[in-house]
Amino acid sequence: MAEAEHNPDNFCYRHPDRQSFILCQRCGRTICAECQTQAAVGVHCPECVKDARARAPKRKPAIVTALRRSSDRPVVTYAIMAVTVLVYVAQFLSGGVVYELFGYAPIYTSFEPWRMITSAFLHSPTSILHIVFNMYSLFIFGPILEHLLGRVRFIALYLISAFGGSLAVLLLADNVYVVGASGAIFGLLGAFFVIQRKLGGNSLQLVIVIAINLAIGFFVPNIAWQAHVGGLIAGAAVAFVYLQTRSPRQWRWQLGFIGAIVAVMLGITIFAAY
């Protein structure tokens, strides 16, 4: 009796020594039990499974998709940096007039309250490191948060944090004149910590960074640690609201809670000022 001819179509294409009569549902190649991946209908070979995964749309974490509402370009972050640098130049060109008109001290609260925000765009004219460190921190954390939150939420976070820093100065410091984006920057750190915890990331390094910078404010003279603490608390509170109301259907609640935070801060400011 003649020996039966070896038909390669009846053997696994990846394991030529294993006979099989199972075909991939997509490409029709013969595959053994080890190479099969169960599909909705039939089985698929490893190549078809790999190809399907490559073609599948990349899904982002739900929290990122829900929070984000803007393009990848951090235009708000760069705009804040640009305005801050321009204001710093204007401080010198004006002979210190800009510094005197827009810096913040508690005594100005009752009749020039806008200084609580504008002071965040000024920096010490005697030390360029002041603006360099703040803008570097904004350059690092700003794009990440703007990407996660969207432009409108990010600028709201930044300004509310700056306001929180000035409010803490009003409540905890007397006869001081403060300038700098430190309160707003600490607000970004507080928000980043809250969001990172929600995402399940390791926040130990961030906690160390925050702790070191807070400690510097307590021990190094001419640093308004009050603004750091106030900005940190305000930024964390805003981020908490963003996370709890991240569903598109909850945008009214989100707007309401953010408005409530600002209203409470304004109420405290009025009470403390008068």
Residue from 6, 166, 182, 203 carrying the catalytic annotation: 182
Token pair 């000035």: residue: 166
Nearest CA-CA partner of 154 in 76, 80, 85: 76
Question: Is 63 exposed, middle or buried (CB count within 10 Å of its CB: 0-12, 13-18, 19+)?
Answer: middle
Residue 9 has which token pair? 């179509």
Q: Where are the alpha helices (DSSP H) in the chain?
A: 46-55, 62-67, 75-93, 97-102, 115-118, 128-149, 151-172, 182-199, 204-219, 225-244, 251-273
Residue from 70, 94, 228, 247 carrying the catalytic annotation: 228
Residue 3 in domain: no
Of 28-37, 192-201, 210-219, 259-268, the range with the highest mean pLDDT is 259-268
Neighbours of 15 (CB within 10 A): 15
Can 228 be counted among the known catalytic residues?
yes
Residue 158 in domain: yes
Q: Are residues 123 and 255 in the same domain?
A: yes
User: What is the per-residue pLDDT across 79-116, written as a single tens digit (0 to 9) for each?
Assistant: 999 999 999 999 999 998 999 999 999 999 999 999 99
137 pLDDT tier (thresholds 50, 70, 90): very high
Residue 1 in domain: no
**Cα distance between residue 262 and residue 274, in whole Å:** 18
Residue 259 in domain: yes
Q: Are residues 105 and 130 in the same domain?
A: yes
Q: Is 45 left (phi over 0), alpha (psi -120 to 50) or beta?
A: beta
Number of domains in the chain: 2
**Cα distance between residue 53 and residue 47, in whole Å:** 10
Query: Which of 52-61, 128-137, 242-251 is the least confident region?
Result: 52-61
**SS3 of residue 57 by DSSP:** coil
Q: Are residues 151 and 254 in the same domain?
A: yes
